[in-house]
Amino acid sequence: MSRIGGKTVLITGGASGIGALMARRFVAEGAAHLVLWDIQVEAMERLAHDLAGGGVAVSTYLVDLADPERIRATVQEMNEAGIKVDMLVNNAGVVTGRPFVAHSPDDIARTMDVNALAPMYVAHAVLPGMIARGGGHIVNIASAAGLVSNPKMSVYCASKWAVIGWSDSLRIEMEQEATGVKVTTVMPYYIDTGMFQGVRSPVIPILRPDKVVDRIVAAIKTDRIVLRLPWIVNLLPLVRGLLPVRWFDLIGGRWLGVYHSMDDFQGRR
């Protein structure tokens, strides 16, 4: 069982969305030190000001997660300040909602850098300390998009497929080596935070951010390996494995409306 009370928690993309909600929840759960990384400086500082009144230490760092050198330098700065990360929440993410052919090379690179490579770089930087101290917890916020293909989010899907494969491989390594480090992979459907503004989902419900945070915190406390939201997402690996591709296309595209969910995508403004 992972304890949040008294721990130092690092959240990437912690200034808004479920990152900010998780920050508030970790304070309520008794975290001793909250470390926020984001590029939204004003939002991050406002949140830090709000949280500081709750008796928790809050540190903020301007970090562009597409820059590996900035990640390395920030972790070094934290180490020099004596900040030892007990729990890492790889939450930051970006999406480009357009057909693949309309992506620019920069769109592709940034999506893969922030969504897929940054979680690996950050984990790689903080893991030695966790292992040396005999424990820790890494929470990787992937997506149900890592389980099913979807038009107008091909590169996003690719980035989340990568996170899921890496995250569970890391989990197995940590268990085999008896490091005491736990790994939880979270795969939510669309969350109503503004990141996917304009998305339509006639059958599968779009998730409420507060409910998602409740489930993530519960998963952390119980050292849950995989959390898929909502419950119907648990069926995706089985259904995809059993059905012919065209049958699955019929179910996902026509019946559930997933293949047209991004038709009116606008994104966060």
Active site residue 156: yes
Separation of alpha carbons 173 and 34, rounded Å:
27
Catalytic residue among 61, 121, 156, 189: 156
Would you put residue 236 in left (φ > 0), alpha (ψ -120 to 50) or beta?
alpha
CA distances from 164 to 47, 160, 183, 227 (A): 29, 6, 11, 11
The residues that are catalytic are: 156
